[in-house]
Every structure is written in C-alpha cells, then in structure tokens.
Structure 1
Amino acid sequence: MSIISTEQLGHSFNDRWLFKDLHFGLQKGDRVALVGINGTGKSTLLKLLAEEFPPQEGRVVKERGIRTGYLPQEPDFTGISTINDFIYSSENEQQQLIKEYEQLLESKNIDTKKLEQLTDKITALDAWEYEQNIKTILSRLQITNFDQQISTLSGGQKKRLALAKLLIDEPDVYILDEPTNHLDIETIEWLEKLLTTGSKTVLLVSHDRYFLDNICTQIRELDKGKLYTYNGNYAYFLEKKAEREYNDILAAEKARNLLRKELEWMRRQPQARGTKAKARIDAFYDLEEKSKGPRAQDKVQLSVKVSRQGSKILEVHNITKRFNEKTVIENFSYVFKKGDRIGLSGRNGSGKSTFLNLITNTLPPDEGYVVIGETTKFGYYKQGGLDFKEDEKVIDIVKSVADYIQMANGDIITASQLLTLFLFPPEKQHGLVKKLSGGEKKRLQLMRVLMANPNFLILDEPSNDLDIDTLNVLEDFLLSYSGVLILVSHDRYLIDKLTDQLFIFDGSGKVIIYNGNYADYKFEVEQKLKEQKEAERKTKESKNKQETQSSTKKKLSYKEQREFNELENKISELENLIKEKTEELNSTTDHILLANLAKDIEALQEELEEKSERWLELAEYI
C-alpha cells in the first residue's frame, strides 16, 4: 500500500504542461530514483509530493501521520538568522534540550546545577544516542560554527546545512533533489551508507550514477509527461530505456510515413461524411499525434573544433598560496603535457578551486610562478553558474560569444543551429533565460564554454544539475577531446571514466600526484589500511605471547572466572542467533529484508569474534 500517491496529477510551467493525469506511488521501504532530461518537471514533481505548493490538477494523498523531509536544489532560509536557529526545531523537545546542553558546555562559567538537570532530562528521554547522531551528521557535513549567520554562507554551505537538518529530523520519507551536489566523495559514500541503513523510504533526483546504483532499487523516468518504471539499478535502466527509445523511434517513423499518404486524402476533403470517412478522419488525428514521437537525432550533440596547441602548454613552478594562517597549496610544481587528463580530488575547502584560479591567473600565488603557453586557450566551466540579465534572451547569451561557430568537421553553423543541437528549440531560443530550468541553464553555460573552441578545458563540477542524458553525451565528447582536461567532480563515475591521473589535495597544502583514476586510488588506500591493520594485529599478538611467556601463569580472579563462564553462554547464544538469521536469510526473497538480515549477521559475527578472543585470552589461565 502506498504511503504517498497522486491522483490525476497535472501541472504546467510557463504555459506548457509538464504532465497530466500522472499516477505516482511510493511504498514504505522504496528507494526510487527519478530521472529525465532537464525541463521535464522532475523538481516540480518532487515539490508537489513534498507539498511545497498545490498542483493545478489532481491531488497528492498521504497516509495519516507520514512526515516528509524535502531537500530542494536551492534551499530557502527566509526569516532564519543563524545555523543554530535552523538546526534545532522549536517543536522538538529532544533537539531543544540538546541545543541548550551544547550551548551550556560552550559557556565560560558552566552552571553545574543546570547541567545536571539537563543531563537528567536527556537521559530520561533516552536522547544521548540522538545527540551523538546530530554531532556526527553536522561534523560530516562540515558544519561547526553554529552562531554563523546563514546570509554569509555560500550556495554549497547552504545546501549542506539543509541536508544536515533533514537527516537530523529523520523523516518517514526522504525527498531529495540532487543531494550529492557540493559534497566531497568521502561524504557521498557516508551518505550512501546512511540512506541504505534500515528500511528508509527515499525518492531522489541525482545525476551521480554510482550513487544511484548504490542507493536505488527502482528507476522511474519522466519523459514528455509520461512515467516509465524500471525495477533494477541504473545499468538495467539504461539497457531497457535504449530498447524503448529504439521502438518509439521506429513507431514514430512508421506513423510519419503513413501520415504522408493520409494527408493527401485529407487535402482532397472528401464530400462524403459517412461512418467510414469519419472513422478515417479520427484515425488521421491519432496518427498525427503518434508521428510527433522522437526522431533518431533528438539528443544533445557535442562537436566543436579544438584550437591548435603549441609545445608549451602550462607550467607551474613551486607555487604556494596562503589565506591568513592557513596554507592551501605549498611548493607545488607541474608541467602540463599534451593529452593530460587530470582529476582534482580532496575534501571541500582543501584547495581545488584555489588551484584552478592560480593556473588561470585569476589569483596570484604568494610564492612561485605560472607560465601559460602562447597558444593555450582556456575553457573554464565554473560552479557559480550562468551570468545573465533578467531581460536577456537565450539566443543573446550565445551571440554575445559568436554569431557563427566552427564545428569539429570544419562546418560553420549559426548560433541558432548550435542551440538546436543542444536541444534548445526555436521557442526556447527566443525566450528569456530566467524561464529555463536549473539544468537547462547549466547546459547553456556548458555550450558557451565549448563554443569558444578551447584546447585547455577546465570543468568544475560539471555534473551538478545536468541531466544524465546530457552527461552521457558530454562523456562521449570528452573521451575523444584532444586538448588538456582538468576535471573537478564528486561524481566517481565521471572521474573514473575520463581521467588517468589525480592531483590529491590533503588540506594541509600538500598536493599528491597519483597515476591512475579514483577507483585505482581508493583500492590502493583500502589495501594499505588492511595491511596496516594486519601488521598491528600481528604485533599485538606477538606482544601478548611474549608477555604470557615471560610472566608466571596466574589464576583467574573471581570476577574473571565469572566473566569466563558468562562468555561461554554468550558465545553459544550468538552462534544460535547467527544460525537462525542465516536460515531466515536463505528462505526469503524480499530484497529489503535480505539487506537487513545480512547487516545483522555481519554485526553478530563481529561480536562473536570479539567474545571468542576474550574467551581464549582468559582460557590460558584456567
């Protein structure tokens, strides 16, 4: 049974219907990804389900008492001053007690009596685990200064703050619009684990394919006002979507061919209006509608000329950059070569954007120098977005760069033709930029960067707000791009596919050059951690053995003997519990139950191993 559903839902935007008579249902434990090209209404549908505003047609139905948590692309903090005011809800008693407790601890003169009272209240409400959970979430999302004014935060900080609040509130349904935007890779991997723990109900829009594969069990595609459901991960969705699109193209082409013949008959305007003629006229209009289906070229096409590149491209010599007391980059050197494909990796604030500003001469280094080759032509796609005036038209944005553009094959095309290749039809070309969706503005920004024919391309978080179809085309273009590529992205799939070298910013000023992509780097790091843990374990075992051999055998104390006896019982209980859970695991096909049982078994086995080690330790003295 659906806990959230829609009845004949319809909504329009800028005099265009996004969808009509749409049915959408979410059941408890569903983890669904909503995909579709920019401008199809994904964000609008999320807002309607979160009851941010009412639909123009139909209604949204929720099970009584269901709480939804909604993360918009651009959070609104109107009427809220500080981070503290936003994080802790006034109607949530646990949160208010925790807020008061944290503020008391930070004060210079702690009122011990008040602290004791607060401690008792938090204990009575069993809120200590909740308090630790809040701290973990805020720390992971890099929120530390609770007195900071929200108006001073950047767009990325505001997005992380809104996400933190939603996770702290623990709603029944998580509705997330691009939750991975402005998160570093480590935080995304943490968020994946959090959202898949327990039986959370999640509906999200995301361009991050690894994130979709790791989170979602179902993909729903919104395409031209219709909803298509695919049970499986993102790879399965791509396969089935390609099949559907191919069949749709064939059906539309067939309808167009038949329409030409029927059009001749309609133009003759038959005098007879009998039953057969009327049926044929009705069939003509049905055929006309079907002929409006997709064509083989209905997708973004990227093909631009790359400017000639000389032997000297870009040289970085011993650059250092500091901000106040913090060293962001220290004594870094690199000479860029033809064909370099470099990914920048590191936590937010570790210096990636600073590095880009240094190499493009937007920011001077404190020490060292940068040499840019005479033929080097930068194309810099920035996170900030598209700069435009309220009354500016889409075509004017393009013509401000050039009226004509040379393509990779040498053809010269007009600005309007290029916009058409980027899926901006004539009606949108002459419309205002402010009426475009967030993703369409990003697509327009990308087009402006590429049409300048750069031979040194810098993409700073290009996947933010771009639809997956456009990202796939961008990937294909970049795979054959002959210039130098620098890519900053939290999208692990994009980094893995497009780069073969990493600059890793550790946050202390050191930049590590690693030959390989992110998957290679992560594998190496995990292997080193395993080896380190194994070495520590062997050292500990050796030390314990030496201590045992050097000391005389002692007898167990009464307390240790009692612990030993209890351990035997506990080990037996754990073994039985693992057996029961394993049998239950083998007898169910429910994927949610399977995941939960697997996690339970893993936790029980860890506890069993710990208890067994202690039992063996005590057994030596029996």
Structure 2
Amino acid sequence: MELVRLDKISLSFGTQVLFDMIDLSLKKGDKVGLLGRNGTGKTTLMKIIAGTISADSGEFWLRQGAEVAWLEQSLPNTDNKTVYEVVATGFSEIGELLSRYHHLISNYHQDNSTELSEIQSQLDSRQGWSIDQKIDSIISQLGLPKNQMMSELSGGWRKRVAIARTLVREPALLLLDEPTNHLDIPTIEWLEKKLQEYNGTILTITHDRRFLQNISNTIIELDRGNLYQFEGSFEKFLYFKDKQLEDQEKANKLFDKKLAQEEVWIRQGIRARRTRNEGRVRALESMRNERSDRRDIIGDSSFKINNADNSGKIVVDLTDVTHGFNNSVVVNKFSTRIQRGDRIGIVGSNGAGKSTLVKILLGKIQPDTGDVKFGSKLEFAYFDQLREHLDLEKNLIDNICGGQEFVEINGIKKHSISYLNDFLFTPERTRTPAKALSGGEQSRAILAKLFTQPANVLVLDEPTNDLDMETLELLEELLIKFNGTVILVSHDRQFMDNVVTNLMVFEGNGMVEEYVGSYSNWLEAGGKMIPFEDNITTSFDTKGKSNRSSSRTKDLDKVIRRKNKKLSYKEKFELEQQPLLIEKFESQIAKLDRVTSSPGFYDQDIEKVKQILSEITQLQSLVSIAYKRWDELEKIKNLSNSAD
C-alpha cells in the first residue's frame, strides 16, 4: 500500500538546484535510509514530506489520515516543560489535556477542582487514559525522569525525550534525522530493536553505518539533485555502489578519450568546422557540460595531520585514580598505562564519565585521589563534542587560520582557502560565520582547526556527530594512518571497530575495565553494555572507596597486568606459532584478492560475491586478532623478564 508519493518535485535555493524533477514512492513497511553528502538536501526533502515547506513544482501526495512524526536533528527547545509534558505533545490536543491534568494534580488545591473535573471528564470520553499509559510506557522504556524539567537535562537525555515524543503515537510514517546523534550505545541498540519491530514506514538520515545496516531494507541516495533507489540492505548497497563506481570510472575514461578527440577536431579551424556537421559542434558542447558536472570517484583523503615529533614511549600512567561529582563516583580506583601508538576507544552510557576520564588523561582536571603521570614530548590535539573550539561569530578563515593567508602543515605552507577546500569548504563558504554553518560543517571546521596543530596524541570526543559518510570514512583513514596515539570517545560502533585496538569500558559504579580488541571483539567475547536505566553512579566516602565492588569475572582478552607470571609452556608454543598463523591467513587473503581482481568477478551472483568478500573480511579479522594475541604474549614475556 502506497503511503507517500513525490512526482516530479523540483526545488532551488537561489542558483543552487536541490531537486530536479525527482520521484519517490514509500510503501507501508518500507524502512529507508536516505544517503547523500552534507548540503545535498536530505533534511529539506524530509521537510517537504513532513509538510513544513513546499516544493517549487511537482506533486506531493500523502495517504489520507496517515500520521507523520518527525524527529528533527536539532534538540527540542522546551526548557520550561517537564519530560512528561514534552512527550505528551506527540498527541497534540489530548496530550495538552493530559499535561494540564498532571500539572493540576501535582499542584492541587480547592480552586482548581472544577477545571480538574472538566479535564477528567474529557479524558474519560476520549480514551485519554490509554494514551496516558502509552506516554508512561515509552518514558519508562527509555529510563526518563518523568517529572524533571527539560532545562535540567543534558543533550543525550534531551535526545531520548525527543525520540520518546516521536515514537509514542506509533504513526504511519517516521521521519528520523540523525537519530543516533547524542545517544549512547545502549540507547542506540534499544532504538534499533524498536524500529525493527515497528510495522509502519521509516525514512531515516544517519551517518551511523551499523544502525543503517540493522534497520533498513531500502537505500535511497540523493546526488546532484537526483534520487537513486536501491532495494536491499546497506551492506548490499555498498557492494552495488562500488561496482557502479568502477563501471563509471571505465566509462569516464572512454568518454574523456572521445572528448579529447573532439576538442582536437574543434581546434582545426573555422574552415574545417564549416565543412562538417554543425550538430557535431552542439554535441561537443553537450559533452563539455556533462564533463563539468561529473562527480569523480573520491580518492585518498586530502586531510593531513600536522605531525609533531614522536612522544616518549609512555604517554600517560594512571594509578588508583578516583573522581566524582555531587557525592557520586564517575571513575573509581582506575589504573592504566597508555603507550605511544595505542588506539584507545572509551565506551559507556551517557553520564558514565567518559568525558571526565578524557579530561583527566589530558590533564585538564585533577582527580580527587590517585596519581597521574605524563610522558615526555607530548603534543595533544583535542576535539571537543561541545564545539567550544569555534568562535561562532568569526568566519572560517579567522577561526581556523587565525586570519592568515597561509597555514603551515608538516613544514609546508598552504594557502588558507586551499587548506579549507581539503575539508570540502568552497571559497565562498570560508567567509561564512561559524554560527551559519550546519552541524556537519561545524564538525569539519573543528577537524580542520585541530589538524593545524602539531600533534602526536589525538583525543577525539564524539567526532562523528553530523558528519556525512564520505567525510567519516576519510577521517577513519586518517586515524588509521596516524603514527601517534589516538584516544577516542564515540557512539559509532562501526567507527570504533575500524579505528581502535583497545577498549576502556565503563561498567557501572565508576568501574572502568580494559580489553584488547575492537568493540565487536569485545561483544563476541561476552561483553555487554549496562542498560541505561542501570547506569547509576554510587556514592563514595572521602577515601574514594566505592560502597559496592564489581563481582563480574573477566575472562576476556585482558590488558596485561601479570607482572609476576611467566609464560606457560602452552603460551610459549602459542607465541612461536603466531607468525606462522599470520602468514597462513595473509596467504589466503592474497589468494582471494586475486579472485576478486579477476575480470567479471562482480558480474556473477551477488550472494557469491558477498560470500567471498565476507571470507576476506573474516580472514582480515583473524589476522588482526593474531597480531593482538602476539603482542599480548610478548608483553607477558617482557614483563616476566623484567620481574626476573
């Protein structure tokens, strides 16, 4: 059953064409991911479907009686309302009656008894109490403080409230604009499950690739004013897209060869042109226009980090560090050593203490108890999720380049406009005040500013918020190639898997545990995020000791702290076998790589292609695990030798 139809929709802002005669049809049960670069019009398309703006031309149709709920990217500005009152607005008039009823009940006196009786009568006749139960249910599921004022909530909690308001009515169509921004991983996983069970239609804009894979059955890409639809999962779309881009590159080479031949012909002279078909001249002009509009395959990132000299081997040592706020522990007797080249991911629920731990590692705050020792030659670059590094009144040139004509990156001077162009800012955009930039543009601007600083330690607190997928992948590539140390806080599970090699996990009550491997490795070994409703920090005494201790046994790949234990015979044999094991896996990968490089590989059945590519991914994962195990065994060996 068709729910939404867009027929030949066009829309322009000034000279920029966002939509050029686009068509779109959404049916009941469709779960659609909408992709496209920042600025291509994804949110604008949602606004047309939500009915908040109109197109310049074309027809928009929504099935009569179909309800639409829109989760906007920006957080709700409802500081003067309680959580319940905001969620209740999902039911408009009935919601207002319920909010008024609860307000009168909580502030009951004789003078409002008449109004209370009238509202109760209306709710009785309009099934208001069943709606009240729905509101209470979604508030409970998300662990929200029902009667708390919105002004008292952090960004993560406000986003949960916005999600509750969007879902509570169970509309026919859900429009979700960056739904995972500001959320922690447990809430994202709860939302995924909720959307998987949802019987209506979903259209979502998101940079979260794992989320998109888990909830979507259709992908739509918005590119240069046109919509391209793909039936299938995000993973299958990527296979299709890679093949499409490869074919396009081959076609482009043939096109460019033909264009070059025609350019030679057109330069042969006026007389020669008069003796030939004038239609050929018009065809050449058309080819020139087509070439200028072409979007080439993106190659290696232009981003570059301004590398500082190598730091010392030890970056930072923490010993029995405890810190808290308002009689609540956020970090409880935590010890760790971070070494040069480590790639650390910090994981935990909102409010668990991730940003606090980051600031302790940066030396920005002193812990209540415990010791923090920093290594030598450290040059930190810090990405702050609150965007405090940007002066919103200044333009990009002033913000990032200090108003200078040139910036110096790794000893090489580069023009400021050229440098900003590497971060996808046009010359005109470089003169724009930061306050006029979108969320994604502000994130790119912070990265641009960050990478002008000489650094050997990158500390990134939620860097992926609002970034489009292309920019996100470029950032991943940069971090993977970076030869310094990376400390990363992120809710993006795919990003964490691709970048980090070790985890620090907040497990409740201020307890932080360390694990070797990626986020997925941790899950596969039995790791589990504590639910957000259980993420309550415990009180602590003046000595910084917790009133409760963790009783969970850690039998995963642990961080090595076995200073007095030597390698067992089995471990010695395992250590000797690791290089051979790695060689075996890499040989199998090379063999499969030759298969994928053969002509016609991508022309065969997609399931066969997917199977082979999956085998390569699994083997690469095994290589990574083998390297980590090799490193772990070497650490045990070295520690036992030093103890001797």
User: C-alpha displacement at 1:165, in angstroms?
Assistant: 0.4
The residue correspondences of 1:149-228 to structure 2 (distance < 5 A) are 150-228=150-228
- Listed one character per residue, the Cα deviations across residues 226-257 of structure 1 (whole Å, up to 9, x for unaligned) are 21222211221112112222333333444344
User: C-alpha displacement at 1:122, in angstroms?
Assistant: 8.0
Number of equivalences: 527
Q: 2:355 aligns with which of 338, 353, 356?
A: 353
Residue 31, structure 1, aligned to residue 31, structure 2: yes
Distance, in Å, in 1 between the alignment partners of 2:472 and 2:482 is 15
The residue correspondences of 1:469-508 to structure 2 (distance < 5 A) are 469-508=470-509
Distance, in Å, in 2 between the alignment partners of 1:272 and 1:63 is 60
Distance, in Å, in 1 between the alignment partners of 2:143 and 2:363 is 29
Give the unaligned 5+ runs of structure 2: 531-550, 552-644
Tell me, what secondary structure is at the counterpart of 1:88?
helix
Tell me, what secondary structure is at the counterpart of 2:194?
helix
The residue correspondences of 1:64-83 to structure 2 (distance < 5 A) are 64-77=64-77, 81-83=81-83
User: C-alpha displacement at 1:144, in angstroms?
Assistant: 0.3
Distance, in Å, in 2 between the alignment partners of 1:366 and 1:108 is 45
- Provide closer, same or farther for how the CA distance between residues 338 and 35 of structure 1 changes in structure 2, counting only shifts above 3 A: same
Distance, in Å, in 2 between the alignment partners of 1:341 and 1:334 is 14
- Provide closer, same or farther for how the CA distance between residues 175 and 305 of structure 1 changes in structure 2, counting only shifts above 3 A: same
Amino acid at match of 2:220: R
- Provide closer, same or farther for how the CA distance between residues 132 and 457 of structure 1 changes in structure 2, counting only shifts above 3 A: farther
User: C-alpha displacement at 1:76, in angstroms?
Assistant: 4.5
Give the unaligned 5+ runs of structure 1: 533-622
Corresponding residue for residue 365 of structure 1: 367
Contact 1:178–1:207 (8 Å) recurs in 2? yes
The residue correspondences of 1:433-512 to structure 2 (distance < 5 A) are 433-512=434-513
Q: 1:337 aligns with which of 339, 364, 373?
A: 339
Q: 2:320 aligns with which of 308, 314, 318?
A: 318
Distance, in Å, in 1 between the alignment partners of 2:341 and 2:306 is 16
Corresponding residue for residue 406 of structure 1: 409
- Listed one character per residue, the Cα deviations across residues 545-600 of structure 1 (whole Å, up to 9, x for unaligned) are xxxxxxxxxxxxxxxxxxxxxxxxxxxxxxxxxxxxxxxxxxxxxxxxxxxxxxxx
User: C-alpha displacement at 1:219, in angstroms?
Assistant: 0.9
Distance, in Å, in 2 between the alignment partners of 1:401 and 1:91 is 50
Deviates most, 48-57 or 424-433: 424-433
Deviates most, 184-193 or 357-366: 357-366
Tell me, what secondary structure is at the counterpart of 1:424?
coil
Amino acid at match of 1:406: I
The residue correspondences of 1:573-592 to structure 2 (distance < 5 A) are none
Contact 2:395–2:434 (8 Å) recurs in 1? yes
Tell me, what secondary structure is at the counterpart of 2:357?
helix
Tell me, what secondary structure is at the counterpart of 2:89?
coil
Contact 1:401–1:452 (8 Å) recurs in 2? no
- Provide closer, same or farther for how the CA distance between residues 169 and 237 of structure 1 changes in structure 2, counting only shifts above 3 A: same
- Provide closer, same or farther for how the CA distance between residues 170 and 395 of structure 1 changes in structure 2, counting only shifts above 3 A: same
Tell me, what secondary structure is at the counterpart of 1:503?
strand
Deviates most, 30-39 or 488-497: 488-497
- Listed one character per residue, the Cα deviations across residues 246-279 of structure 1 (whole Å, up to 9, x for unaligned) are 3333334443443344345545674799896431
- Listed one character per residue, the Cα deviations across residues 415-455 of structure 1 (whole Å, up to 9, x for unaligned) are 33332332334343345544543212212212222232321
User: C-alpha displacement at 1:309, in angstroms?
Assistant: 1.1
Distance, in Å, in 1 between the alignment partners of 2:208 and 2:189 is 12
User: C-alpha displacement at 1:388, in angstroms?
Assistant: 4.2
Distance, in Å, in 1 between the alignment partners of 2:384 and 2:485 is 17
Corresponding residue for residue 424 of structure 1: 425
Contact 1:386–1:445 (8 Å) recurs in 2? no
Amino acid at match of 1:400: G
Amino acid at match of 2:57: E
User: C-alpha displacement at 1:75, in angstroms?
Assistant: 3.5
- Provide closer, same or farther for how the CA distance between residues 334 and 527 of structure 1 changes in structure 2, counting only shifts above 3 A: closer
Distance, in Å, in 1 between the alignment partners of 2:217 and 2:282 is 42
Distance, in Å, in 1 between the alignment partners of 2:212 and 2:242 is 18
Scaled by the length of structure 1, what TM-score is found?
A: 0.75
Contact 1:382–1:459 (8 Å) recurs in 2? yes
Corresponding residue for residue 303 of structure 2: 302
- Listed one character per residue, the Cα deviations across residues 171-203 of structure 1 (whole Å, up to 9, x for unaligned) are 110000110111111111111111111422000
Corresponding residue for residue 262 of structure 2: 262
Contact 2:396–2:430 (8 Å) recurs in 1? yes
Tell me, what secondary structure is at the counterpart of 2:314?
coil
Corresponding residue for residue 232 of structure 2: 232
Distance, in Å, in 2 between the alignment partners of 1:249 and 1:423 is 22
User: C-alpha displacement at 1:153, in angstroms?
Assistant: 4.0
The residue correspondences of 1:14-163 to structure 2 (distance < 5 A) are 15-77=15-77, 81-89=81-89, 95=95, 99=99, 131-148=132-149, 150-163=150-163
Amino acid at match of 2:205: V
Distance, in Å, in 2 between the alignment partners of 1:415 and 1:331 is 46
Distance, in Å, in 2 between the alignment partners of 1:467 and 1:266 is 41
Pairwise CA RMSD: 3.6
- Provide closer, same or farther for how the CA distance between residues 451 and 82 of structure 1 changes in structure 2, counting only shifts above 3 A: same
Distance, in Å, in 2 between the alignment partners of 1:78 and 1:515 is 42
- Provide closer, same or farther for how the CA distance between residues 299 and 205 of structure 1 changes in structure 2, counting only shifts above 3 A: farther
Tell me, what secondary structure is at the counterpart of 2:249?
helix
Contact 2:90–2:165 (8 Å) recurs in 1? no
Distance, in Å, in 1 between the alignment partners of 2:454 and 2:390 is 21
Corresponding residue for residue 581 of structure 1: none
The residue correspondences of 1:533-548 to structure 2 (distance < 5 A) are none
Amino acid at match of 2:176: L
Tell me, what secondary structure is at the counterpart of 2:365?
coil
Contact 1:340–1:484 (8 Å) recurs in 2? yes
User: C-alpha displacement at 1:482, in angstroms?
Assistant: 2.0
- Provide closer, same or farther for how the CA distance between residues 121 and 507 of structure 1 changes in structure 2, counting only shifts above 3 A: farther
- Provide closer, same or farther for how the CA distance between residues 287 and 435 of structure 1 changes in structure 2, counting only shifts above 3 A: farther
Amino acid at match of 2:136: K
Tell me, what secondary structure is at the counterpart of 1:458?
strand
Distance, in Å, in 2 between the alignment partners of 1:90 and 1:76 is 13
Contact 2:90–2:168 (8 Å) recurs in 1? no
Amino acid at match of 1:318: D
- Provide closer, same or farther for how the CA distance between residues 10 and 78 of structure 1 changes in structure 2, counting only shifts above 3 A: farther
- Listed one character per residue, the Cα deviations across residues 79-116 of structure 1 (whole Å, up to 9, x for unaligned) are 9644343222396576467657766886799999x999
Amino acid at match of 1:465: D
Decide which structure has the larger Cα Rg and report it. 1
- Provide closer, same or farther for how the CA distance between residues 370 and 14 of structure 1 changes in structure 2, counting only shifts above 3 A: farther
Distance, in Å, in 2 between the alignment partners of 1:157 and 1:352 is 15
Contact 1:252–1:294 (8 Å) recurs in 2? no
Distance, in Å, in 2 between the alignment partners of 1:115 and 1:92 is 19
Contact 1:73–1:159 (8 Å) recurs in 2? no
Deviates most, 487-496 or 344-353: 487-496
- Provide closer, same or farther for how the CA distance between residues 325 and 117 of structure 1 changes in structure 2, counting only shifts above 3 A: farther
- Listed one character per residue, the Cα deviations across residues 486-530 of structure 1 (whole Å, up to 9, x for unaligned) are 11111111222222222122342221222333223333447999x
- Provide closer, same or farther for how the CA distance between residues 513 and 18 of structure 1 changes in structure 2, counting only shifts above 3 A: same
User: C-alpha displacement at 1:16, in angstroms?
Assistant: 1.7
Distance, in Å, in 2 between the alignment partners of 1:527 and 1:357 is 25
Deviates most, 87-96 or 320-329: 87-96
Scaled by the length of structure 2, what TM-score is found?
A: 0.73
- Provide closer, same or farther for how the CA distance between residues 59 and 357 of structure 1 changes in structure 2, counting only shifts above 3 A: farther
Distance, in Å, in 2 between the alignment partners of 1:405 and 1:186 is 42
Identity %: 33
Distance, in Å, in 2 between the alignment partners of 1:80 and 1:286 is 58
Corresponding residue for residue 613 of structure 1: none
